[in-house]
Amino acid sequence: MQEIVLPVIGSVAAWRAEASARLQARTPPEALTWRMGAAEPDLFATERVEARTTGQRVSLPRQAVSTLELSLSHRDPERFARAYDVAFRMAHAGLSWGDRRDAALREVLRTAKLAGRAIHKMHAFVRFRELPGEGPRRSFAAWFEPDHPIVEAASPFFARRFGDMDWTICTPGLTALFVDGSLSFRETEAEARPPADASEELWRTYFASIFNPARLKVQAMQSEMPKKYWRNLPEAELIPELIRSAPVRAAEMQAAQARDLETRRVAAARQLCAGARVSVPAEPAAPPETLAELAAAAGTCARCPLHEPATQTVFGEGPEDADLMVVGEQPGDQEDLTGRPFVGPAGQLFDRALAVAGLDCRRLYITNAVKHFKFMPRGKLRIHQRPNAGEVDHCRWWLDAERRLVRPRLTLALGATAARALTGSDRGLLERRGTVETARDGGPVLITVHPSYLLRLQDPAEREEGFSRFCEDLSAARLSLPGQSGVATKDFTSAASTTWQ
């Protein structure tokens, strides 16, 4: 058995030269032993014999050669023998590079992957510290402890990136030196950790400033930056506190983002209002005479602060001679964007209920007690906020004007806000549901829930029952109109069960 001794420095290049000669000589893998120069000799090895080539050139795929050589940067003592075994069988025994059924080839791929990952870690976690000196080139030094003997494979990266300075990277095995543009290696005699320098405080400050607590994933971070590297990283001492305070800082960032969004929306709305809107007097001397004129006037309304962040006024829709007026609470997100009432999820549920109750939505006048969308920004979302009593009272002038022009025979109040705007009463909505009260102007008002209340119910049975009762209230409103008699033609319970599927 022939023994091949590879040098500690330049072992990959030496293996390639030796392997090339042995492959051309068709020397079988079992006839060779491989060792590094610093290892103990093999007691069963014979003296070295120079290979006699056959004169035939051996060619392997470029990817195979690069992967085999990368696997030699792994710490496995069998790496040289294994790489030669794979290369020999590829050259002379028909082994295909892509055949992952071969155990030795799979191990080469595995060790190459681990060595490549170790090289990436070295590129990421080497921290240079400046050394005192007066020469024309600045000098830096670093200490690093890699998992595998990768110094020779990883160092050209630093030579390319930091070619304008001299540097030294010490590891427990080898030391890389880059002086005057020349890269060399030597065996490390003793641990040499460079002292801290002034730039480390600046680096810690920068690291803390770019640390994003909202995107913190501790497990992923420790997988990418294992704790064993922390003692050589100046920023590592900050990491435990940054992790501990991340939830609080993330909440503060979200709150600041929400405040900033609200401020920008308000500023934009005020700028728009300054050029396009005028405030409506508290007591207009000459109210508009048609719904079209009233809607145009409402488009410039600034009677309360709700107009500032809202996209637009959402006025009522329907015929001016409608017998039934439906009054909701306020526009939602979709209504604010489209400028039309009841087009969001609650409006879609309301349309289904109208169909069940036998009401034609084209014959209804549909509006809201408040004409602007009140919301709270939360990230990219706009969360619905219930209007307060002052906002309802400010907007009631428009509702009263709509009622004077439409003169409905019956008004359907959907929800507590609509009931208060129409009747002035704040009594509990559920105890008033299904009853007819008198509006401020003397007209009859049928009280019921808002469709959004049904959307918030979690229990399926409660949702079906709530939808059925809602349809009954709409049917009662239909039967109260002139020319209507009998009962609704659809079964409320069965309709409710299909609506929520």
Domain boundaries defined on the chain? 2-122, 126-187, 277-499
Amino acid at 189: E
In the prediction, which pLDDT does 16 show? 95
The angle at the Cα of 78, spanning 73 to 82, to the nearest 5 degrees, equals 90
3-state secondary structure 300-314: CCCCCHHHCCCCCCC
Top pLDDT among 44 and 208 is at 208
3-state secondary structure (DSSP) of residue 383: strand
Q: How many CB atoms lie within 10 A of CB 59?
A: 10
Whether pLDDT at 54 is above 70: no
3-state secondary structure 313-339: CCCCECCCCCCEEEEECCCCHHHHHHC
Whether pLDDT at 253 is above 90: no
Whether pLDDT at 75 is above 90: yes
* Residue 213 CB partners (closer than 8 Å, separation 6+): 242, 245, 246, 247, 249, 250, 253
- Using CA atoms, how far apart are residues 440 and 425, in angstroms rounded to an integer? 10
Confidence class of residue 137 from pLDDT cuts 50, 70 and 90? confident
In the prediction, which pLDDT does 270 show? 56
* Inter-residue contact 492 to 499 (CB < 8 Å): no
Confidence class of residue 109 from pLDDT cuts 50, 70 and 90? very high
Confidence class of residue 205 from pLDDT cuts 50, 70 and 90? confident
Residue 75: which of 184, 162, 174, 175 has the closest Cα? 174
In the prediction, which pLDDT does 198 show? 56
Whether pLDDT at 10 is above 60: yes
Confidence class of residue 255 from pLDDT cuts 50, 70 and 90? confident
Whether pLDDT at 275 is above 50: no
Top pLDDT among 284 and 406 is at 406
- Using CA atoms, how far apart are residues 396 and 332, in angstroms rounded to an integer? 18
* Residue 333 CB partners (closer than 8 Å, separation 6+): 344, 373, 375, 382, 384
Reported pTM: 0.46
Whether pLDDT at 235 is above 80: no
Q: What is the mean pLDDT of residues 442-450?
A: 94
Confidence class of residue 63 from pLDDT cuts 50, 70 and 90? very high
Q: Which has the minimum average pLDDT: 13-17, 263-267, 427-431?
A: 263-267
* Residue 165 DSSP code: S
- Using CA atoms, how far apart are residues 21 and 386, in angstroms rounded to an integer? 84
pLDDT in tens, 321-338: 999 999 999 999 999 999
In the prediction, which pLDDT does 245 show? 83
Q: What is the mean pLDDT of residues 227-247?
A: 74
Q: What is the mean pLDDT of residues 93-103?
A: 91
Q: Which has the minimum average pLDDT: 116-120, 174-178, 489-493?
A: 489-493
Q: What is the mean pLDDT of residues 401-423?
A: 94
Q: Which has the minimum average pLDDT: 212-226, 341-355, 357-371, 418-432?
A: 212-226
Q: What is the mean pLDDT of residues 457-483?
A: 89
H/E run at residue 6: strand 2-6
Whether pLDDT at 187 is above 70: yes
Q: Which has the minimum average pLDDT: 119-123, 215-219, 274-278, 497-501?
A: 497-501
Confidence class of residue 222 from pLDDT cuts 50, 70 and 90? low
In the prediction, which pLDDT does 216 show? 74
- Using CA atoms, how far apart are residues 107 and 74, in angstroms rounded to an integer? 11
Q: What is the mean pLDDT of residues 350-355?
A: 94
Percent of the chain with pLDDT over 70: 82
- Using CA atoms, how far apart are residues 33 and 493, in angstroms rounded to an integer? 85
Q: What is the mean pLDDT of residues 471-490?
A: 72
Own/partner long-range contacts of 338-342 (Cβ < 8 Å, ≥24 apart): 339/311, 339/312, 339/313, 339/314, 340/314, 341/314, 341/315, 341/316, 341/317, 341/366, 341/367, 341/368, 342/366
* Inter-residue contact 73 to 148 (CB < 8 Å): yes
Please give the class, per CATH, of domain 277-499: alpha beta
